[in-house]
Structure 1
Amino acid sequence: MSGAAKQRLQALSQQLVEGIPDAGTFEGIPKIRQVAQDSVGPRVKDKVVIVTGESSIPLTGHRTTRLFMHQAVSCTNERNPKSGANSPAGIGRASAHQFAHNGAKAVYLCDYDPTHLATHKREIESLYPGVDVHARQFDAADEVAVKSVVDDAIQRYGRLDIFFANAGIVGQPKVFTDISGEDFMKTLKTNTLGLVRFLLRSTDKGGHTSASKPYPSGSIICTASVAGLRSNAGSTDYSASKAAVVSIAQTCAYQLAGTGIRINAICPGLIETGMTQAVFDAARARGTQRKIGQLNPLQRGAVADEVARAALFLGSDESSYVNGQAWAVCGGLSAGHPFVPGKLA
């Protein structure tokens, strides 16, 4: 890391300043030292969370649906074309519920399309009246808008603890020879450059300290995809953008060394969200839903809450030593080589 970069990251985490405390002994042997709080209680108690995402647009058109049905059966994409906090079936919404359920002080719901945001806000407030819920419409690629939301969290609460960068688009459902350079870069701008803008605005605020947060710390969670780990799980532009998300998480983990801010990527497989809803519905109508996800060992797709549970863990102090990782939440799809169903794997 350059000297200039080190100067920007002067603040040190509590563990580097104070060390991990001695827990004493029991009958002459040392007790187990711990960094996280008790796992029995709320896992993100009093933390301030921002969840980003974009609107849900279902797949339409015979050619598009057919292409993604093939991917759903073989190696599928996890996201709706524009998915996140606003989508009724999205990962962002499910994650916001998990953060609220587990004691967050405040949750920001951020989305490009505000259609369902007010409804999601009312639902979370009715279920978890002690949580402050803020709905914000913004474009993930708009640096000014991102800065506004982050600054609002700091001004209101004096802290930002968890930033779930879940915004993205699915890209072009085409083979690479049919994708224009303009369309390719549009996908990278949202999925990759958009993430970089999140990081620029959230990492310095994650290092912000206050009376309620005397040491810098935080967790940044990025939605990547199994398409960023293996081929045949998405279009070329989408796969390239998600591979970049994984690389950014790994690189930034080192560039944030010593700050107590962790960054990890979640790589979902086939998840039933707004994008894949048409695939799931069509399969159910034909009675072929068992074919969805048949190439992963669990032989099924997932619901958004299964990804949200991974986001909750990565956002909590329970994952205090998990950093710079790409977590596949894919039912085992990315664990093996392609195989023919029914044959020995």
Structure 2
Amino acid sequence: MMRFAGKSVLVTGAGSGIGRATALAFAREGAGVVCADVAQGDVTAAMIEDMGGRAVACAMDAGEDADVARAIALAVDTFGEIDVVHANAGISGGIAGLFDTTAEDWSEILRVNLIGPFLAIRHAAPIMAAAGGGAIVCTASVAGLRSGAGGAAYSASKAGVINLVQTAAQQLSGSGVRVNAVCPGLVETGMTAMVYDHARQSGKEARIGRLNPLRRGGEPEEVAAVVLFLSSAEASYVNGQALAVDGGLSSSHPVTRQDYGRTAI
């Protein structure tokens, strides 16, 4: 399949994990890809070029207005247009509870995870609309759907992303620009490396993902496949939605309860 032949795509957070898997997948299907990240975006771009694809790297901070504008301009200058943006860059901020997170921590997590996708939409959507349309996919999380799948600040930021894509889809009415979110569950990436490493070192790898009906963690490529679907003409009537890719976890979100002032058991 070459669903993105001749298309121009920007992926933020392309240096590793879901972002890298998505950038590679877009390239395999013919897209020219801007691989944007604070680090390692050039490695992903080199991987694409090595497999015969078209890519350019862009060092950027997803939460900085000027950096996002520059990355989108690079896509237009390099490939002639901007057809798709995967606003994927994010940080976890750890698993601290509501009363263990500082205002500074909250500010930084919201800056990257929520302001970042806002900036991507703000700068890319007008260009797409002027060209007749496009697709923007933001990486949210099952943690944004309800409590129990992440730290307090991270969960709040991802809930904000889900509302952001709904709001953006409405405010872009008639433009031809679709805005959706993908909500990964537990996926092995740099962000979750500590979870996976601890499980393997303690002989509990089989327990990874045990709370979802598929009884396993996900792979970045499984999320990338959904991002490509939402970005493609196959999803031409999908707009303003948050699609969970979580093995069924969010169908119930089972979680250990934590009483105020006590440790979860």
User: TM-score, with normalisation over the residues of structure 1?
Assistant: 0.71
SS at match of 1:307: helix
Q: Distance in 2 between matches of 1:147 and 1:205?
A: 11
How well do the aligned residues superpose, as a CA RMSD in angstroms? Answer: 1.5
Q: Is the 8 A contact 1:227 1:239 kept in 2?
A: yes
Runs of 5+ in structure 2 lacking a partner? 257-265
Report 1:103-252 matches (<5 A).
Answer: 103-104=30-31, 106-113=32-39, 116-127=40-51, 129=52, 131-209=53-131, 216-252=132-168
Q: Is the 8 A contact 2:148 2:253 kept in 1?
A: no
Q: Could you list the per-position Cα deviations for residues 52-111 of structure 1 after superposition, in whole angstroms to 9, with x for gaps in the alignment? A: 01xxxxxxxxxxxxxxxxxxxxxxxxxxxxxxx112xx000000111011111x100000
Letter in 2 for 1:170: S
- Based on CA coordinates, which of the two structures has the bigger radius of gyration? 1
Q: 1:333 aligns with which of 221, 241, 249?
A: 249
User: TM-score, with normalisation over the residues of structure 2?
Assistant: 0.92
Q: Is the 8 A contact 2:15 2:42 kept in 1?
A: no
The answer as to 2:20 corresponding to 1:93 is yes
CA offset at residue 339 of structure 1?
Answer: 7.6
Q: Distance in 1 between matches of 2:253 and 2:34?
A: 39
Runs of 5+ in structure 1 lacking a partner? 1-40, 54-84, 210-215, 341-345
CA offset at residue 172 of structure 1?
Answer: 4.2
Structure 1 residues 141 and 337 mapped into 2: Cα distance closer, same or farther (>3 Å)?
closer
Q: Is the 8 A contact 2:88 2:139 kept in 1?
A: yes
Q: Distance in 1 between matches of 2:202 and 2:116?
A: 39
Letter in 2 for 1:109: C
CA offset at residue 287 of structure 1?
Answer: 2.9
Q: Could you list the per-position Cα deviations for residues 307-340 of structure 1 after superposition, in whole angstroms to 9, with x for gaps in the alignment? A: 0001111111111111000000000000125289
After TM superposition, the structure 1 stretch with the greater mean CA deviation from structure 2, 282-291 or 302-311, is 282-291
Q: Distance in 1 between matches of 2:232 and 2:65?
A: 26
SS at match of 1:121: helix
Letter in 2 for 1:96: A
Partner of 2:5: 45
Letter in 1 for 2:112: T
Q: Distance in 1 between matches of 2:103 and 2:142?
A: 23
Give aligned pairs, total: 256
Partner of 2:232: 316
Structure 1 residues 266 and 317 mapped into 2: Cα distance closer, same or farther (>3 Å)?
same
Q: Distance in 1 between matches of 2:130 and 2:27?
A: 22
Q: Distance in 1 between matches of 2:27 and 2:178?
A: 21
CA offset at residue 173 of structure 1?
Answer: 2.6
- Could you tell me the percent identity over the aligned residues? 46
SS at match of 2:62: coil
CA offset at residue 257 of structure 1?
Answer: 0.6
Q: Is the 8 A contact 1:44 1:315 kept in 2?
A: no
SS at match of 2:120: helix
Q: Is the 8 A contact 1:266 1:327 kept in 2?
A: yes
Letter in 1 for 2:81: R
